[in-house]
Structure 1
Amino acid sequence: MAMSPLLFIVFLLMLLEPCSSSRSNVYIVYMGERHHGLRPELVQEAHHGMLAAVLGSEQAAMDAILYSYRHGFSGFAAVLTGGQAARLSDWPGVVRVVRNRVLDQHTTRSWDFMGVNPSPSGGGILLESRFGEDSIIGVLDTGIWPESASFRDDGIGEVPRRWKGRCVAGEKFNASNCNRKIIGAKWYVKGYEAEYGKMNTSDIYEFMSARDAVGHGTHTASTAAGALVANASFRGLAKGVARGGAQRARLAVYKVCWATGDCTAADILAAFDDAIHDGVDVISVSLGQAPPLPAYVDDVLSIGSFHAVAKGVVVVCSAGNSGPYSETVINSAPWIVTVAAGTIDRIFLAKIILGNNSTYVGQTLYSGKHPSKSVRIVYAEDISSDNADDTDARSCTAGSLNATLVKGNVVLCFQTRAQRSASVAVETVKKARGVGVIFAQFLTKDIASSLDIPCVQVDYQVGTAILAYTTSMRNPVAQFSFPKTIVGELVAPEVAYFSSRGPSSLSPSILKPDIAAPGVNILAAWSPAAAISSAIGSVNFKIDSGTSMSCPHISGVVALLKSMHPNWSPAAVKSALVTTANVHDAYGFEMVSEAAPYNDANPFDYGGGHVNPNRAAHPGLVYDMGVSDYMRFLCSMGYNTSAISSMTQQQTTCQHTPKSQLNLNVPSITIPELRGKLTVSRTVTNVGPALSKYRARVEAPPGVDVTVSPSLLTFNSTVRKLPFKVTFQAKLKVQGRYTFGSLTWEDGTHTVRIPLVTSQTQRTQPLPQQSPGSGFSGGSGAGAGAGLFVVAPPASAIDAAGGGGGGRRWLLRRRRRGRAGEGSDEGIGAGTRRAATSMRKRREEKSRFSHLVFWKAESNCHKVKPTN
């Protein structure tokens, strides 16, 4: 029987395919929103039938498929060749076919610092939400250690009847490991094993179950919803009551990351699908992909979170740890709550006592055994190995030091642009059998987790003084004291150095990050299976830093908000967080951003500001929106209309307008290219008292006139939602850099603030003369100066701060606002240099040393493999 020409061509293509694209990889076939009329099992059958048609048999399809996404959306992950993937991409109903990607993980005082504690008056978000009772937080991470005291279910009621999830058994984990706190636990490894081969747990200490072998997932879960644990500490540091934000919230654990530090897209998307089906209220995701970022329609976190938000689930993600560079923020889709990291008012200080009796203070987390007597100090550059560069040796880069000269000594290292990590320096010295490290660096509160040998981090000023002593003495020696926990003396919050900054590289007209939360030196539960060092072994609680730690703080706050306001949309929840956030520190001054040197923080550092949970519970007004608004946003990004329709299962006709992104109803306004005059629109919904009047107050970005119309919004029982317009008029010919301001609606009780961000570009014609309009016009205000806290504390500081009085506090509290440019220059103790500087001097230093801003931060405590 003769073969038809068409079948002959298909046969030839099948023969040629192995030659041209025979290498198999994991691909995700995304088919958009699941048809509501189809049961999940029928969707799965359709996936198998479709794949069988391409692969040639049902058995081949069964062997190739890893996951069938059939609950929150439709699609599947399968092992395919490039040719097979290309054929599937042309299949009717297929939105996208993308390669499996590997994503990275991004780590108690913090809740008290944010004011989330029972109020004596009976008010506050914690009591009003009943401690987050029955909210369900889904955590996509490395799993959980269920035996931790942070996951006890004392005082928690029965599992909510709406819950559809379950506990999946596995290695050293079964259904009995769940309780009324941990109500779900699943694990996903098919995507990982398809990329890297079968997991070899004999080489990698890992559990083929939801049990956490890394610690990261246990830390994030307990931060969001851990129970009260008395006398918790990390080897005696930060001792006190550990607790999560939403203590009566439930946890659903989705293990998608493994001990290697890798988390694959196929596994993550499967976890999103299950979490949506299971009935979580919040999804907390402390992981992401480093820049360059894929398009939103190709990014699994954007896709999975889109479908979650469409079902009313709030998705909270970490902003990334690539700061302080601009345009490094990740997880930047407008439907995601993207979280930056800030500091809290706690620090761990130790003394360095030199042989000449000079004493300096630095930071350390080392609380192990110290040498009983003073030890010789050597300067790293003076003991470099034969082939090492001086710069590498100075920063104690791996292999840069002469091991013979290191042995038995304390090594003084200086941070350089090439090597910024104290952790690397510690490892270098430890391998050479040194007994300690003094690491001089820019001023930061993120402390390297040095646990095998002591490492004291100091600023450059102290480091330089110790270097002068070391080079001038024949036998320079030093001794370290044990660290002490100092609380309440620090100016906070500040934006952490490592926290990724905006603007978004994908959509610069959408302000990212959205919000900042505590993410530096956070104490939370840890997995005992994750040995933190060869000398110490396992711990039950650990101090860690990163946007991985700030993310679950916001997830916990969201759980509290959802308990109070179960009908709020994800956009309303985000708006409540952003519009009520703090942009000043605890002493009333504008927040600063850790950098080199320090800068005034701006919305690209913290979004709306540092979270204020109690104010977020009663925001007054919210900037609300839904799926149709996000569809218009996707249209404005230039994505294919049919792809958007498949993604949302709603017929979409894209009508591109220049301002379509600018008019997305987010709680901020960002104009990357302001030319002349531009008007954008927003709508607010009243969630406060029905009878309310709000008046606009504007702080315009420098060089821009801003007018709001109308400037008065009046709500009543029938009018709950009102639109307004904001007009921006550029006053400069060309500027080329971002400037910042704000728009605030006030009713005498509520303050609803959004950031204004503009960057002016060259106008095509001169500005016409403008007459005053009828709307409210705001001008640019002058900032008041403030002195900084001291850089180099005196040696007596620890004793003074930790005792019952007598000494001055070494971290100087900045004075209340005074005249512009005025700063505090108060001395703080005998023999202490005047180290406080005025705002004017800070600005001069910023100008003189602006090149230092471009140092890339490396989070000392956040190595992706095996943990961060």
Structure 2
Amino acid sequence: MLRVCCLQTAQDQVDIISLSVTPNRRPPGVATFFNPIDMALLFEIMSRYTGTGERKLYKLLLARHALNDDTLVLMISIQFDLCWDSPLSNGPQKQPKASVQLVWSSYMDPFVIGFQLNPVPMQNPGIIIASKNDSKLAKEKTKCVCALLEWILIFLFYHIALRMKPAHPIVSVCLDYWNSLVLELFEPHQDWMTSFGPRHTASVAAGNHGIPVIVAGHHFGNASGMAPRSHIAVYKALYKSFGGFAADVVAAIDQAAQDGVDIISLSITPNRRPPGVATFFNPIDMALLSAVKVGIFVVQAAGNTGPSPTSMFSFSPWIFTVGAASHDRVYSNSIFLGNNVTIPGVGLAPGTDEKKLYKLILARHALNNDTSVADDMYVGECQDASKFNKTLIKRNLLMCSYSIRFVLGLSTIKRASETAKNLSAAGVVFYMDPFVIGFQLNPVPMQKPGIIIASTNDSKILMQYYNSSLEIDAVSKKIVQFGAVAGICGGLKANYGNSAPKVMYYSARGPDPEDTLPHEADILKPNLLAPGNFIWAAWSSVGTDSVEFLGENFALMSGTSMAAPHVAGLAALIKQKFPNFSPAAIGSALSTTASLFDKSGEPIMAQRSYASPELNQSPATPFDMGSGFVNASGALNPGLVFDSGYDDYMSFLCGINGSAPVVLNYTGQNCGLYNSTVYGPDLNLPSITISKLNQSRIVQRTVQNIAQNESYSVGWTAPDGVSVKVSPTHFSINNGERQVLSVLLNATLNSSVASFGRIGLFGNQGHVINIPISVMVKISSNTSTS
């Protein structure tokens, strides 16, 4: 559907609008007056002033484009609107390590992080105001006015302005849903009321320090956000019933920029690649470019579309893209069978009495006289206690089937646990339906002893033991004795291993697609890994995104949505220590200091399959993990930084074939103002990515020393099929000085298989700067082929 995406005049307080544009055909419908442009202009005239004479703006569909300060330009462009989703899946994981606490100083008093997702409720202990004086710390410039617009026939418009000033650290909340309303998708009774629904991304970045995590009556330790004293500004542009649209997301970005946020955290991605000249040219990325121009650091989730190559849904070099990794903390559960076999599983549940074994009773074998499998084919999922014989189940372990209906939300662990409780069962055991594959089973809270057996093979072992232990009457064919017994060990205790981090199978992978064909871009994506699997954080007790955590103040979730705010919070700490850092410099500090190894000192691994991901993994490449896994202490002491700015990104965009009219359409600026010979490898990024190396190429990188005077030596590992030479190989650099590095790459064989290398800068004061090299197609002057 065609949408007006750029309409930003009233907020700039112009007095006259001059439109040198006309439609290319008469608008269809009841009358020509009813078209988006005329309606927008009418609405602006009607809502220009309130009764007190105060100037108000009720936005339509907008994208604020940062133009020359002395130029007032109205740009109206027509774009295809895209649906956007949140890359989030239910699950659990890890808060920042104790080492992160060592880098907190004044806890980010001056900084505001903007989030585009449903905010958590303001009474949640993870984000509640800690001191009466904390509200004074909020930026006075952070103001958010949101409007609910309703269409009434014959040019009548009613509007409701909503202004919210919640307690620190939430300093503003804004709803942007005009496009959703126009398309008749916005449901006030559902979507408006879920504006404080279950999204815990904000508390990952800026949740309070040392908050007890209590779920289902169990204490799981204390949680802290990355930057506990930073402030949160929430901009809601997605809704439970339908997701959201690019126009509403752009409106939220625009408002965040005007409110003066320092960091934007986007736990959202488009649901398809943007069409057109290049993926970079879409309303969201171009709006974010304007945000970067005014100094806002932008973090975006990579998306949960992995593990296939080119599954990335965050595209542009001015956006810092974060993939999801595991961590060393797991909640292990297991069931011990009477035949001395132990089967692993998941479930945040207590165990049974360790001195006893309990009879196993299959749900389908414990129906009351009024129920049969023929009448209720899903009765084995244990969703209704009235279907079962309580006498048979009492003080025994109830066995329930975990089917695809649990994945779809039609059946829930919570209801099955309630069934077991109502039947006075000793506990509940979920075995896996053989058709459920490719889904991550997350530990869910259970008040009673329980376990979910995640493996179909392990479920078969359980069922074989159960069936072989039944005593069946030879004549009636009825069960006369249940012989299988077991005990549940419990999954409340965290265990720690050495194989983390590893790239999760669902985390989107590079190379970065440049268009829909696809051609690969000369841009590294993702940029970094961060904890994204099984993350504890604040939750809305009335949130319905995961019914398993309904009524709880904390939830365990998984996805790249959880990884992005870890980096957003750390970026706030970097911005505090280095207030003059540009967005690119912040990204450089995060990238060049990233870790390449897991806790055991081995290379980080990447899961390669959604089916049995632990059995299908190999060493991660930059297309899996970017520069590596986030290193909080290192990022706060990077030594050298790579910097880029708005003009560099504009030159890059203008260098794309056929991009000039698109650039003009989005920014109002002519490509003649920029160097259009700048390509992806020429951007001063902390990585080198070349989609097609035709014989040889020289790229340059400029580093600036932000630490003490230091001498560096340069080393490198060349990608397969490529020779690399870096000059100089040694240099000394004083604080504030810059050094240019020249990198010569030669293709030594013909190959279309991507290969990877790395450049290392090793300082005599302990700084180490890692620069990943990625080369895809290689065309050599030699005849050898790989």
Range of TM-score over shorter length: 0.7 to 0.9
**Under a length normalisation based on structure 1, what TM-score does the superposition of the two structures give?**
0.70
- 1:410 corresponds, among 382, 399, 416, to 399
Distance 1:428 1:457 in 2: 15
CA contact (8 A) 1:677 1:727 kept: yes
* Cross-structure match for 1:438: 431
CA contact (8 A) 1:232 1:239 kept: yes
* Cross-structure match for 1:60: 39
CA contact (8 A) 1:577 1:616 kept: yes
Q: 1:767 to 1:722 in 2, by over 3 A?
A: farther
1:496 counterpart letter in structure 2: M
- 1:447 and 2:423 correspond: no
* Cross-structure match for 1:791: none
Cα-to-partner distance string for 1:196-246 (whole Å, 9 max, x where unaligned) = 345241xx3x4358x413x01xx0111110112432233256612221111
Q: Report the more deviating stretch, 281-290 or 360-369.
A: 360-369
* Cross-structure match for 1:846: none
Give, in angstroms, the shift of residue 471 of structure 1.
6.0
Distance 2:438 2:187 in 1: 41
- 1:73 corresponds, among 61, 65, 70, to 65
Q: 1:688 to 1:109 in 2, by over 3 A?
A: farther
* Cross-structure match for 1:364: 347
Give, in angstroms, the shift of residue 289 of structure 1.
1.0
- 1:530 and 2:543 correspond: yes
- 1:165 and 2:148 correspond: no
Q: Secondary structure at the match of 2:99?
A: coil
* Cross-structure match for 2:721: 703
CA contact (8 A) 2:96 2:226 kept: no
Distance 1:328 1:153 in 2: 40
Give, in angstroms, the shift of residue 699 of structure 1.
1.6
Give, in angstroms, the shift of residue 298 of structure 1.
4.5
Give, in angstroms, the shift of residue 478 of structure 1.
4.8
* Cross-structure match for 1:272: 253
- Structure 1: give runs of 5+ residues left out of the alignment: 1-24, 76-91, 119-124, 387-391, 769-868
Give, in angstroms, the shift of residue 61 of structure 1.
3.6
Q: Secondary structure at the match of 1:501?
A: coil
Cα-to-partner distance string for 1:674-695 (whole Å, 9 max, x where unaligned) = 3332222221122112x32222
- 1:305 and 2:288 correspond: yes
Cα-to-partner distance string for 1:312-350 (whole Å, 9 max, x where unaligned) = 000111000111111111122110010101112211122
Distance 1:60 1:532 in 2: 36
Q: Secondary structure at the match of 1:628?
A: helix
**Aligned residue-pair number:** 687
Give, in angstroms, the shift of residue 446 of structure 1.
5.9
* Cross-structure match for 1:547: 560
- 1:590 and 2:598 correspond: no
Cα-to-partner distance string for 1:279-302 (whole Å, 9 max, x where unaligned) = 000001101113334444542320
Q: Secondary structure at the match of 2:671?
A: coil
CA contact (8 A) 1:48 1:62 kept: no
Distance 1:607 1:378 in 2: 47
CA contact (8 A) 2:329 2:497 kept: yes
Distance 1:241 1:308 in 2: 35
Distance 2:226 2:740 in 1: 34
Distance 1:480 1:44 in 2: 72
CA contact (8 A) 2:279 2:513 kept: no
Distance 2:62 2:409 in 1: 49
Give, in angstroms, the shift of residue 96 of structure 1.
3.7
- 1:741 and 2:717 correspond: no
* Cross-structure match for 2:628: 609
Q: Secondary structure at the match of 2:59?
A: strand
- 2:112 corresponds, among 128, 133, 136, to 136
* Cross-structure match for 2:492: 484
* Alignment of structure 1 residues 782-861 onto 2, 5 Å: none
Distance 1:271 1:372 in 2: 56
* Alignment of structure 1 residues 572-721 onto 2, 5 Å: 572-595=585-608, 596=613, 597-645=616-664, 647-653=666-672, 657=677, 660-689=679-708, 691-716=709-734, 720-721=737-738
- 1:505 corresponds, among 513, 533, 541, to 513
* Cross-structure match for 1:46: 17
Give, in angstroms, the shift of residue 189 of structure 1.
2.1
Give, in angstroms, the shift of residue 69 of structure 1.
6.7
* Cross-structure match for 1:325: 308
CA contact (8 A) 1:285 1:317 kept: yes
* Cross-structure match for 1:187: 175
1:140 counterpart letter in structure 2: Q
Give, in angstroms, the shift of residue 696 of structure 1.
0.9
Give, in angstroms, the shift of residue 480 of structure 1.
3.4
Give, in angstroms, the shift of residue 98 of structure 1.
1.3
* Alignment of structure 1 residues 322-361 onto 2, 5 Å: 322-361=305-344
Give, in angstroms, the shift of residue 558 of structure 1.
0.7
Distance 2:568 2:441 in 1: 22
Distance 2:782 2:550 in 1: 69
CA contact (8 A) 2:40 2:60 kept: no
Q: 1:297 to 1:758 in 2, by over 3 A?
A: closer
CA contact (8 A) 1:293 1:330 kept: no
Distance 1:413 1:162 in 2: 51
1:360 counterpart letter in structure 2: I
CA contact (8 A) 1:703 1:731 kept: yes
2:328 counterpart letter in structure 1: D
2:287 counterpart letter in structure 1: G
- 1:103 and 2:119 correspond: no
Q: 1:365 to 1:261 in 2, by over 3 A?
A: farther
Q: 1:264 to 1:105 in 2, by over 3 A?
A: same
Q: 1:525 to 1:174 in 2, by over 3 A?
A: farther
1:199 counterpart letter in structure 2: E
Q: 1:162 to 1:534 in 2, by over 3 A?
A: closer
Give, in angstroms, the shift of residue 144 of structure 1.
3.1
Distance 2:20 2:668 in 1: 21
CA contact (8 A) 1:164 1:279 kept: yes
- 1:427 corresponds, among 396, 404, 411, to 411
- 1:289 and 2:270 correspond: yes
Give, in angstroms, the shift of residue 494 of structure 1.
1.2
Cα-to-partner distance string for 1:122-176 (whole Å, 9 max, x where unaligned) = xxx312xx22221110111113311112223325362355624147699999867
- 1:234 corresponds, among 211, 215, 218, to 215
CA contact (8 A) 2:94 2:535 kept: yes
**Under a length normalisation based on structure 2, what TM-score does the superposition of the two structures give?**
0.77
CA contact (8 A) 1:40 1:70 kept: no
Q: Secondary structure at the match of 2:624?
A: helix
Q: Secondary structure at the match of 2:284?
A: helix
CA contact (8 A) 1:51 1:61 kept: no
Distance 1:426 1:59 in 2: 45
Give, in angstroms, the shift of residue 29 of structure 1.
3.2
Give, in angstroms, the shift of residue 587 of structure 1.
2.0
Give, in angstroms, the shift of residue 508 of structure 1.
2.9
CA contact (8 A) 2:95 2:535 kept: no
Distance 1:135 1:428 in 2: 40
Q: Report the more deviating stretch, 254-263 or 484-493.
A: 484-493
- 2:101 corresponds, among 88, 106, 117, to 117
Give, in angstroms, the shift of residue 472 of structure 1.
4.7
Q: Secondary structure at the match of 2:213?
A: strand
1:529 counterpart letter in structure 2: V
- Structure 2: give runs of 5+ residues left out of the alignment: 45-57, 68-72, 149-158, 366-372, 421-427, 471-481, 515-519
Give, in angstroms, the shift of residue 589 of structure 1.
1.1
Give, in angstroms, the shift of residue 611 of structure 1.
0.4
Q: Report the more deviating stretch, 628-637 or 605-614.
A: 628-637
Distance 1:296 1:542 in 2: 34
Distance 1:535 1:291 in 2: 30
Cα-to-partner distance string for 1:688-719 (whole Å, 9 max, x where unaligned) = 12x322221102223322110122233236x7
- 1:726 and 2:743 correspond: yes
Q: Secondary structure at the match of 1:351?
A: strand
Q: 1:283 to 1:716 in 2, by over 3 A?
A: same
- 1:258 and 2:274 correspond: no
> What fraction of aligned residue pairs are identical, expressed as a percent?
26
**Cα RMSD for the two superposed structures:** 4.3
Give, in angstroms, the shift of residue 664 of structure 1.
1.4
Give, in angstroms, the shift of residue 437 of structure 1.
2.0
Q: 1:524 to 1:534 in 2, by over 3 A?
A: closer
- 2:122 corresponds, among 138, 141, 146, to 146
2:399 counterpart letter in structure 1: V
